[in-house]
Each structure stands twice: as C-alpha cells, then as structure tokens.
Structure 1
Amino acid sequence: MYKNIKVIAFDADDTLWVNETYFREAEQQFAKLLAAYETENKIDQELFKTEIKNLAIYGYGVKGFMLSMVESALELSNYKISQQKLAQILEIGKEMLEKPIELLPGVEQVLKALHGKYKLIVATKGDLLDQERKLKKSGLLKYFHHIEVMSDKQVSDYESLVRHQDIDASELLMVGNSLKSDVLPLIQIGAAAIHIPFHTTWAHEEVSENEQQADQYKTVKKLTEILTFL
C-alpha cells in the first residue's frame, strides 16, 4: 500500500507532541474567571462560537484563542469584566505559549527509523511563530527536510503542498491525529494517510461516523505502529 511513498508528512500538535490538553486546561481556567457571569457550560459554548467566528480572521493557534477569550469575556460580562481579570486571561494565553514541549511516546524512535529512507516533512497549521518555537524546543528539527506551517488543511492546501514537493499525490503519506485535517483531505487528492487518534479532540475537528471513510486509511493506536507498514 505504501510502496510508492517518497514523502512522509507529520502533523505536529497532538501527533508529535501534546497540545490540545493545554487548550482544555485553559478553557477550565477561563470558565472559573467568568463564573460570576455564566455557567461553565454556557461559557464553553460561547467561547467555542467566538473561536469559530474568528478563525477566518485570526487563523489557528494560541494567539487567536487568546483574543477570542478576551472577546467572549467582554460579551459574557456585558463589558463589566475588570481590567484585572482581562490581564489574567492574557496571562492564561502567555502560559500556553511558554509550555514545555512534551513529546508523545515513540516520536523520536519513529523519526530515527524513517530518516534517510524517506523525505520527512512537518505539515501543520497554526501560528507560524508559535509552531517554529515548538519545533526548535522539541529537538526534532534535525529529522525534517521541510517545515510547512499551513493557514488551513483543506484539499487545496494539500494540493499546493504536493506541488511544492514536486511529487505525485500518490507519493505522499500524511500521519496525523485529526480525521478532518490530516486524513480525509489526503484521501480526496489520492494520497495516503494514517490516523493516530489523540485522547482529546477539539470539537471543530470532529467528523460524523458517515464522513469517516474508515476503509480508505489505516488507524493505529500509537505512532510506532506505522513502522510495521513502512
């Protein structure tokens, strides 16, 4: 199935290292700060709506999340929230940006095994500065030929990636945790994909059972399992 593969692209957040867990923790902190104005469930719902509304403006990543928290806090409090609490919200975001990099199990083992056999690249979305910072702190840069920080992961974005790598789509394998971003668009362009679920998934990345097309890709429980295919 993978005999023609020349390039293996890895998603970064929640594929190479922990990420979504920090967003869930930040949402809990945010809800506690706003507890005087609304229930935790309502706060979570309104923050999510604001994030989705702002994606086209801010894109993905911590900085956009910070701005969405500030906007939600102002609206949920009817613009009565204190300057001190707004400062605390900004501090939540800054703490997220300063988190240490926690590599997921088997990451370096897999990259060492594949390095030199395939062209390895990172294909991730988010804030450019933040993703560059995480890659440097991860100690993994030496394994990758190319880093692609994408504004989104739609079919057209992957088609551009294939062109930039000067390969046919059938020569690309994508490895990632998100069906919506790392798997299904690849299937549509004729590339291969391996799904490695992470225990926490952002609601925006979830897909229905009917959309999953599970017979078109492999799903593994841990990253090291992909070595049995390659």
Structure 2
Amino acid sequence: MMKPKIIAFDADDTLWHNEPYFDEAQEKFCALFDNYASHQVILQMILNHQVKNLPLYGFGIKAFTLSMVETALELTQNQISGNAIEKILKIGKELLEKPVELLPNVEAVLQELKGKYRLIVATKGDLKDQHRKLHDSGLGHYFHHIEVMSDKTEVDYSKMLGRLDIPPSDFMMIGNSLKSDVLPVLNIGGWGVHIPYHTTWAYERIDFEIEHENFKAVATIKEVLNIL
C-alpha cells in the first residue's frame, strides 16, 4: 500500500480526453498537404518540429499550431499561400475550443479522495488553455493547488514541491505518461502511478519497463483507490 499525503493528477488524458483531438487536427493538416507527402511523412515532420521547438515554444496547442505552420513551410519550400496558413490557424483555434470530456469515474474518485488527501493538478501546456479546461471540467473545487508547468522534469517537480513545502516522500503523481508523470517523480523520491491512455503522443513514449518500489501501474483511475 502507498501512503502519500499529497496526490497530484496530470490533466490531459488522465482527467479528460485530449490526445484524440490532436490526432484529429493532424489528420486535417495531412489532408491539406497530401499532394506533397504521405501522411506518415507529414506526421513525422510535425513531430520533428515540435521536439525542435520545445525549448522555445514549450508544450500546448499554440506551440503545436506554430509547428504545423513550420511544417507547411518546409513541405511547400516556403511557397505556402496565405489561404493555407489561414486554414492551419483554424485547425489550431478549433483545438482551443474543444469541449472537455471527463474520463470515466474521474469525479467519483476525486470525491472519494477529497478530505483524505491534499489534491493537486500538475500539468503542462498553455496556461490559459489548461485553466479553461479545468474551469469547464467542473473539477476545480476538488483541488488544493493547480500547477501548469513549463515541463515535467525532475527539476520542475522539485521546484514545485519546494514552493508547496512538500517532501517528495509524501508526494504521489498520477498520470498517463511514464516519461513525464512517473519517472521524474520516482527519481526524486516520490510515488508514481501510471494509468495508460489508449493513445500516447510519440514524444511521451519510452521503450523500457519501470521496476521501482514506489511505482504502480493500474488500468483505470478507479483502481487508484485500491492502492492507497
């Protein structure tokens, strides 16, 4: 059994659906430029631009939209029309207007945990967009603190815990990304719980198994209750 005092949840694809919207946006982008390259090639180009741009743009929809524009410039050898750029921007704006659809049993689990633990949201992405989604989700009142991080490295988690005066040994992070939600927290002495989502951004994937005494993998958020 795990004995944390503070439990943090990732937001996207842990509390609500997110990645399918990006997959849909990328398919729309590929359809715009299918005369230039295959979908597989275009998707790899978008990913390459996203990863290259992370130090400048960070994570989130706005960074994704800029990476789509750069991909279009590369595909067309800088000959892209203003009309095409307008269509790309529309894809990005549509992402920012997507409804928030909670994953199954999320609110029931939060109701069960509230009052027994201090609950936190620890996510990354666009500050404004993440606050919008939290507001629209109706979940905000369950959380003691909301943290929208520029990244989720060991340093980022350590800084957050320092600001909140939380020792890592009291901290549990729950999320769908082994790379961002689990490994950094384990490495600083916290607890990590992985809840897989049916699709994962390529950047967030790892190619090895995690074996750690502070790590648990569960199939659904409801199973978190069984390990506390």
- Measured against the shorter chain, the TM-score band is over 0.9
Residue pair 2:190, 2:214 contacting (<8 A) in 1 also: no
Q: Which whole-Å deviations, capped at 9, do the CAs of 1:181-210 have from their partners, x for residues lacking one?
A: 000111101100110010111110011125
What is the aligned partner in structure 1 of residue 31 from structure 2?
A: 32
What is the aligned partner in structure 2 of residue 219 from structure 1?
A: 217
Matched-pair identity in %? 55
User: Matched residues in 2 for 1:213 and 1:58: separation?
Assistant: 33
Cα offset, 1:216, TM superposition: 4.4
Q: How many residues align?
A: 228
Q: Name whichever of 74-83 and 148-157 sits farther off.
A: 74-83
User: Matched residues in 2 for 1:145 and 1:139: separation?
Assistant: 14
What is the aligned partner in structure 1 of residue 166 from structure 2?
A: 167
TM-score by length of 2: 0.97
User: Matched residues in 1 for 2:181 and 2:142: separation?
Assistant: 20
User: Matched residues in 1 for 2:213 and 2:71: separation?
Assistant: 40
Q: Which amino acid aligns with 1:229?
A: I
Q: Which whole-Å deviations, capped at 9, do the CAs of 1:1-43 have from their partners, x for residues lacking one?
A: 423x111000000000001111111111111101121111111
Cα offset, 1:145, TM superposition: 0.6
Give 3-state SS (helix, strand or coil) of 2:7's partner: strand
User: Matched residues in 2 for 1:46 and 1:176: separation?
Assistant: 27
5 Å matches for 1:59-74? Answer: 59-74=58-73
User: Matched residues in 2 for 1:30 and 1:152: separation?
Assistant: 26
User: Matched residues in 1 for 2:139 and 2:26: separation?
Assistant: 29
User: Matched residues in 2 for 1:224 and 1:147: separation?
Assistant: 22
Give 3-state SS (helix, strand or coil) of 2:206's partner: coil
5 Å matches for 1:188-207? Answer: 188-207=187-206
User: Matched residues in 1 for 2:184 and 2:211: separation?
Assistant: 11
Give 3-state SS (helix, strand or coil) of 1:209's partner: coil
5 Å matches for 1:1-230? Answer: 1-3=1-3, 5-209=4-208, 212-213=210-211, 216-230=214-228
User: Matched residues in 1 for 2:173 and 2:45: separation?
Assistant: 33
Q: Which amino acid aligns with 2:2?
A: Y
Give 3-state SS (helix, strand or coil) of 1:102's partner: coil
Cα offset, 1:166, TM superposition: 1.1
User: Matched residues in 2 for 1:64 and 1:102: separation?
Assistant: 22
Cα offset, 1:213, TM superposition: 3.0
Q: Which whole-Å deviations, capped at 9, do the CAs of 1:148-186 have from their partners, x for residues lacking one?
A: 000000001111121122121110011000000000111
Structure 2 regions of 5+ residues with no counterpart? Answer: none
Residue pair 2:191, 2:215 contacting (<8 A) in 1 also: yes
